[in-house]
Amino acid sequence: MSNSNHSYKAKKATFYGAGVGPGDPLLLTIKTHQLIQTADVISYLASTDGHSQARDIARHSLASRTSDAEEVVVTMPMSTDRSQANCAYDAAAQQLQKHLQAGKSVVFLCEGDPLFFGSFSYLLQRLSDDFSCQVVPGIASVNAASAALQQPLTLLQESFAVVSGRHTDQQIENTLQQHDSVVIMKAGLARPRILALLRKTGRWADGHYLEYIGRDNQRLVANLDELEDQTGPYFSLFVILRGERPA
């Protein structure tokens, strides 16, 4: 995967946000792969049971290192209480700061793209004033969903919007009414509410639902009549596209 003429090595005392893509390890960029190969410290989010989606996606790059890297696990409770998340990010930033002050290179692995609903954003806020920071973009789940559906997100004059399942009913309803193409991220807990809003706005037939894009357990539902009206996993989204589109 590496080429001596186009190699990229992690620089000392630099904090990197590296996107590992939506789930398929083959969608990880060469630049991120090379950073994982050369960084002194690898960090990533993990659930309270110790599982990390980002590390799992990057497992082949980690396994092929010629030497072990120190790993910093940022345990993140799955809660809507932002005070818990902020405490976790504060603790992680302090831990990573020590490595950076010691002159080490630190790579934080982030699912999808680091700055698109990415956890790296919150660490960047805490560390960017004091350390050199760089961002390596990754393939976001929005683009992976479009590829899985084999449907363009926008054509010609179509408008496009991205919202979150955490938005209010009114915000989601307005977006569905005002835009041709809509992606609703973080849809799991809000799935029944989103389905009701799709019916209310007349966008039911336009909707597609996806889970775990690019992974072994990927699920794609093109007909929402076949989707259970109940909550789903965190890694899920809706893609809403007009039935009649510009030629």
Residues 52 and 33 in one domain: yes
Residue 139, Cβ neighbours under 10 Å: how many?
22
130-133 own/partner pairs: CB under 8 Å, 24+ apart:
130/97, 130/100, 131/13, 131/14, 131/15, 131/97, 131/100, 132/11, 132/13, 132/14, 132/15, 133/14, 133/15, 133/16, 133/17
Residues 149 and 109 in one domain: no
Domain annotation covers residue 245: no
Q: Which of 99, 118, 136 is the last residue of a domain?
A: 136
Domain annotation covers residue 63: yes
Question: For residues 212 and 56, what is the distance between their CA atoms, to the nearest angstrom?
Answer: 13
Structural domain boundaries enclosing 68: 4-136
Residues 114 and 30 in one domain: yes
The DSSP result for the chain, as a single string, is: ---GGG---PPTTEEEEEE-BSS-GGGS-HHHHHHHHH-SEEEEEE-TTS--HHHHHTHHHHHT-SS--EEEEEE----S-HHHHHHHHHHHHHHHHHHHHTT--EEEEESB-TTSS-THHHHHHHHTTTSEEEEE----HHHHHHHHHT--S--TT--EEEEETTS-HHHHHHHHHH-SEEEEES-TTTHHHHHHHHHHTT-GGGEEEEESTTSTT-EEESSGGGS-SS---SSEEEEE--SS---
Of the candidates 42, 43, 38, which has an alpha carbon nearest to the alpha carbon of residue 11?
A: 38
Q: Which of 75, 102, 136 is the last residue of a domain?
A: 136
Domain annotation covers residue 98: yes
Return the pLDDT at 5: 59
Domain annotation covers residue 69: yes
Sign of CA dihedral 180, 186, 188, 191: negative
Cβ contact 110:17 at 8 Å = yes
Of the candidates 163, 175, 169, which has an alpha carbon nearest to the alpha carbon of residue 196?
A: 169
Residues 12 and 108 in one domain: yes
Return the pLDDT at 190: 96
Residues 235 and 116 in one domain: no
Residues 128 and 161 in one domain: no
| Distance, C-alpha 83 to centroid of its chain | 21
Residues 168 and 84 in one domain: no
Return the pLDDT at 1: 46
For each of the chain's 247 residues, which pLDDT tens digit applies?
Answer: 444 457 899 999 999 999 999 999 999 999 999 999 999 999 999 999 999 999 999 999 999 999 999 999 999 887 777 899 999 999 999 999 999 999 999 999 999 999 999 999 999 999 999 999 999 999 999 999 999 999 999 999 999 999 999 999 999 999 999 999 999 999 999 999 999 999 999 999 999 999 999 888 999 999 999 999 999 998 899 999 998 888 7
Task: For Cα atoms 232, 235, 240, give the angle at the middle one, nearest 5 degrees.
Answer: 80
Domain annotation covers residue 246: no
Q: Which of 136, 165, 195 is the last residue of a domain?
A: 136
